[in-house]
């Protein structure tokens, strides 16, 4: 599943080939992804220029010469750009073709992604307006996290995965960040000290940045005509390593379930 680092890497991988391009046509080969596609999408997009492309949480937003386009990769969505004509394969659901011959193509086996036209300011769209601060932005810091954790009894892992508190910290990075910060995932949020919050805010940034850096090596794959790039391999310390020895102390990593998601932690390093 694409998490924030994959979305950021995708954005960087395609940006250069879509920004300042004029859309010649939009073609969808399905009527429904997560939601039905707008019937007027082709007409809306034709002749529009992509002025800029940015990310908010796990959404990619294109600012067009008029209006905006919101893209979400869902559970398995991938984007790539290529020059010339390439026959679409199964699961390649839509194409945005530019007047210079390049095409942006979307692949999604599970069809859980989204493609939505927006007329209002994107920040005011219902999918974006309640999102918490970006974990890599200045608004998210230890004071903010400390404030958010006060009086909250819910486990800290669930709190940092709440998109209204901070957006885009998925299960992988919540596990990894809590390990780095030495905090038990089940610890009640309000019991975190100021120092805990400082270390956790830094750990969240660090794990996401490390993953984005790892994805940087796959950037050229986004202009592969034949195949969408796979999600890049991340260097993970605890996620998916349940019952294996902790990389720091050798203790067997423990697996528990929280909010229906798997949590892995080191009972010795994390307090």
Query: What is the rounded CA–CA span in Å between residue 212 and residue 205?
Result: 11
Residues that contact Zn ion, how many (by CB under 5 A)? 7
**End-to-end alpha-carbon separation of the chain, Å?**
29
Q: Is 75 in the site for Zn ion (CB under 5 A)?
A: no
Residue 229 a catalytic site member: no
249 vs 259, which CB is nearer to Zn ion? 249
Q: Of these residues, 21, 56, 58, 184, which one is catalytic?
A: 58
Site string for Zn ion, 164-203 (x = CB under 5 A): ----------------------------------------
Length of the chain in terms of residues written:
271
Query: What is the rounded CA–CA span in Å between residue 23 and residue 127?
Result: 25
Residue 105 a catalytic site member: no
* Residue with tokens 């592969």, as numbered in its chain: 224
Residue 3 a catalytic site member: yes
Residues 229-268 that bind Zn ion (CB under 5 A): 246, 248-249, 251, 266, 268
Among 29, 18, 46, residue whose Cα is nearest residue 117: 46
Contact 131, 164 (CB under 8 A): yes
Q: Is 63 in the site for Zn ion (CB under 5 A)?
A: no
91 vs 237, which CB is nearer to Zn ion? 237
Contact 266, 238 (CB under 8 A): yes
Tokens read off for 26: 């939009």
Min dist. Cβ of residue 255 to Zn ion (A): 14
Strand partners, 72: 59, 114
Residue number, nearest CB to Zn ion: 246
Residue 220 a catalytic site member: no
Tokens read off for 136: 């890599």
Min dist. Cβ of residue 246 to Zn ion (A): 3
Q: Of these residues, 12, 117, 186, 261, which one is catalytic?
A: 261
Chosen residue from 64, 69, 73, 269 binding Zn ion by CB under 5 A = 269
Tokens read off for 27: 């073609």
Name the residues annotated as catalytic. 2-3, 58, 261
- By CB under 5 A, name the binding residues for Zn ion: 246, 248-249, 251, 266, 268-269
């Amino acid at each position: 599943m694409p998490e924030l680092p994959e979305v950021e890497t995708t954005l960087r991988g395609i940006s250069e080939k879509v920004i300042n391009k004029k859309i010649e046509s939009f073609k969808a080969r399905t009527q429904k992804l997560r939601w039905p596609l707008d019937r007027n999408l082709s007409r809306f997009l034709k002749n529009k220029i992509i002025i800029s492309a940015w990310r908010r949480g796990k959404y990619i937003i294109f600012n067009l010469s008029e209006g905006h386009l919101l893209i979400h990769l869902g559970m398995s969505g991938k984007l790539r750009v290529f020059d010339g004509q390439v026959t679409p394969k199964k699961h390649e659901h839509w194409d945005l073709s530019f007047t210079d011959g390049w095409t942006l193509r979307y692949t999604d086996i599970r069809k859980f992604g989204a493609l939505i036209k927006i007329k209002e300011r994107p920040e005011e769209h219902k999918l974006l307006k309640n999102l918490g601060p970006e974990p890599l932005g200045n608004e998210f810091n230890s004071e903010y996290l400390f404030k958010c954790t006060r009086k909250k009894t819910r486990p800290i892992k669930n709190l940092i995965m709440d998109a209204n508190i901070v957006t885009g910290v998925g299960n992988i990075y919540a596990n990894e960040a809590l390990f780095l910060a030495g905090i038990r995932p089940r610890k009640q949020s309000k019991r975190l000290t100021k120092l805990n919050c400082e270390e956790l805010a830094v750990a969240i940034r660090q794990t996401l940045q490390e993953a984005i850096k790892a994805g940087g090596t796959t950037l050229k794959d986004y202009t592969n005509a034949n195949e969408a790039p796979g999600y890049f391999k991340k260097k993970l310390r605890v996620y998916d390593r349940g019952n294996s020895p902790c990389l720091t102390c050798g203790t067997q990593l423990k697996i528990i379930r929280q909010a229906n998601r798997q949590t892995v932690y080191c009972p010795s390093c994390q307090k």
